[in-house]
């Protein structure tokens, strides 16, 4: 298991450190673009075409702090690389009015992606064309503020803040487009929603669209209950049960020794997630917004008990030029304590791994899953115009448990005494700085660029027995969306 710190393990459906920072804006633009994408609108039938595409140029230097030179010197891993990734996603959707307020709807789309050059995980000059969305549904009103929505098939679904359920599909490796991550739809889903005013209940069954080379047969089911405040806040809870899975878990070895891999451990794992966002103040404090998540996880079959959480506070200077906002956050995910027989490693499942969502750091998010890590984060955003946004992000990243797997056994290596050890001996992993710029070229075209650097902490330095060099990189991408 040496060198796993330098390459993301295929045992996990990795969460992309996506640079599609325009995602929220893309969604907002969709309704505005509907008029220009309508093919048919008559006799209760609306047929629309859709198209999304992107190109992303990436440059990375001293990838993963060049740990491969120490942990796997014979691997031939090149820590400096440049690559270009592209994708297109065409599709068709329809709505058909059945009368009495019921609407039959559906969508069909595909993704074709390619990576030219060698990406951060030593894969390149490869790509694939895959089915993305293919679903049918029916929705309608029940009277007195109540409505329903049921669907079957391959489609996107995000629950809560994306802490656990968001990325339903994998990109990268043999599919290409590692960073853009254009695939998001679950391969199979059954989703039922009932809404009563501001309260929505969602029951779901999900089967992720995993990489063919690493399909672990994961199936999940559960429900979500959420209340949305008209003022912008929300309060919700999600329950998730892993019905079937061949995905293993690592367990820390006693005294920092080699971890044990538990085959099929994810099956039977259950998680409860509570999430909330609110602005409880008026007057001078009205510019503050607070949000929080907490998750508790257990699996009696393998004696698993773990937890995770995040709190954030955001202040917007509404009267200042450029509308600056400052976000302060702290997120933490339990790791396995090597001194106990119980398994305490948190499984982040299918979280949204973008820097604006649940990434732990910017560069570091390509190395560490949201397990056995914590991060103190600061983000400052300014908008010089309605089209331009600059965001500066900082993350101080630490391990929760020493001598314990960080992600899936990273830093498992032979020490100077010839013993197999794992994890880090100092909690400080890295300090990440990321400057991002986004330009809305028009309502369908978006440009995003960024530069970032990750300064290794003492935990990384101790692995190589000296001062590790910073890991730097940058990117520029253009995404179009109709």
Q: Give the pLDDT confidence score for residue 99 in this predicted structure.
A: 86
Q: Please report, for the domain that includes residue 391, its CATH number.
A: 2.40.160.100
Pairwise pLDDT comparison (258 vs 470), residue with the higher score: 470
Is the pTM higher than 0.85? The answer reads yes
Query: Is residue 121, in this structure, part of any structural domain at all?
Result: yes
Residues near 60 by beta carbon (within 8 Å), at least 6 away in sequence: 79, 80, 81, 82, 120, 471, 472, 473
Residue 407 in contact with residue 9, Cβ under 8 Å? yes
Return d(Cα 286, Cα 232) in angstroms, integer: 13
Residues 45-83 pLDDT 10s = 999 999 999 999 999 999 999 988 877 777 888 999 999
Host domain of residue 383: 23-481
- Does residue 2 belong to any structural domain of this protein? no
By three-state DSSP, how is residue 462 classified? helix
Structural domain contains residue 18 = no
Question: Beta strand pairing status for 325-333 and 373-382?
Answer: antiparallel
Mean per-residue pLDDT, 153-173? 96
Per the domain annotation, does 44 fall within a domain? yes
User: What is the count of structural domains for the chain?
Assistant: 1
Judge whether 6 lies within some domain: no
Distance from the first to the final alpha carbon of the chain? 44
- Residue 371, domain member (yes or no): yes
Rounded percentage of the chain residues whose pLDDT exceeds 90: 76
Give the tens place of pLDDT for each residue, 201-220.
Answer: 999 999 999 999 889 999 99
Domain contains 149: yes
The pLDDT confidence band at residue 479, using thresholds 50, 70 and 90, is very high
- Give dist(CA 168, CA 176) in Å, integer: 16
The whole-angstrom separation of Cα 66 and Cα 72 is 10
Q: Which residues contact 385 (CB under 8 A, 6 or more apart)?
A: none
- Residue 73's pLDDT is 78
């Amino acid at each position: 298991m040496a060198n796993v710190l330098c390459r993301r393990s295929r045992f996990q459906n990795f969460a992309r450190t996506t640079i599609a920072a325009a995602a929220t804006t893309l969604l907002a633009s969709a309704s505005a673009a509907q008029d220009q994408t309508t093919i048919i609108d008559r006799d209760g039938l609306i047929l629309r075409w859709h198209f999304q595409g992107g190109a992303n140029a990436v440059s990375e230097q001293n990838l993963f702090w060049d740990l491969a030179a120490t942990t796997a010197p014979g691997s031939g891993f090149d820590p400096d690389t440049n690559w270009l990734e592209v994708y297109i996603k065409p599709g068709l959707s329809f709505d058909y009015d059945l009368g009495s307020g019921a609407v039959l709807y559906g969508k069909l789309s595909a993704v074709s992606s390619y990576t030219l050059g060698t990406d951060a995980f030593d894969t390149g000059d490869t790509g694939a064309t895959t089915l993305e969305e293919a679903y049918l549904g029916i929705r309608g009103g029940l009277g007195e503020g109540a409505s329903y929505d049921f669907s079957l098939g391959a489609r996107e679904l995000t629950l809560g803040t994306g802490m656990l359920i968001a990325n339903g599909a994998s990109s990268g490796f043999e599919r290409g487009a590692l960073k853009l991550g254009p695939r998001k739809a679950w391969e199979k889903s059954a989703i039922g929603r009932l809404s009563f005013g501001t309260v929505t209940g969602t029951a779901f069954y999900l089967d992720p669209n995993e990489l063919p080379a690493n399909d672990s047969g994961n199936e999940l089911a559960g429900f979500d209950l959420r209340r949305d405040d008209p003022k912008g806040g929300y309060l919700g809870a999600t329950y998730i049960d892993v019905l079937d899975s061949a995905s293993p878990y690592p367990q820390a070895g006693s005294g920092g020794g080699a971890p044990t891999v538990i085959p099929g451990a994810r099956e039977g794992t259950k998680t409860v997630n509570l999430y909330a966002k609110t602005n409880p103040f008026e007057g001078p404090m009205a510019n503050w917004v607070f949000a929080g998540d907490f998750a508790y996880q257990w699996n009696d079959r393998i004696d698993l008990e773990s937890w995770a959480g995040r709190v954030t506070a955001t202040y917007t200077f509404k009267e200042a030029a450029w509308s600056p906002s400052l976000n302060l956050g702290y997120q933490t995910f339990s790791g396995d304590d090597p001194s106990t027989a119980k398994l305490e490693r948190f499984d982040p499942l299918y979280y949204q791994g973008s820097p604006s969502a649940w990434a732990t750091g910017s560069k570091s998010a390509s190395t560490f899953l949201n397990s056995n890590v914590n991060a103190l984060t600061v983000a400052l955003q300014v908008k010089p115009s309605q089209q331009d946004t600059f965001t500066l992000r900082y993350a101080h990243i630490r391990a929760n448990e020493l001598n314990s797997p960080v992600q899936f056994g990273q830093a498992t290596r032979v020490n100077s005494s010839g013993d197999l050890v794992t994890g880090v001996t100092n909690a400080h992993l890295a300090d990440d700085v990321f400057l991002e710029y986004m330009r809305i070229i028009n309502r369908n075209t978006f440009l995003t660029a960024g530069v970032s650097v990750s300064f290794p902490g003492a935990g990384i330095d101790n692995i190589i027995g000296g001062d590790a060099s910073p890991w730097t990189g940058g990117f520029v991408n253009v995404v179009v969306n109709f």
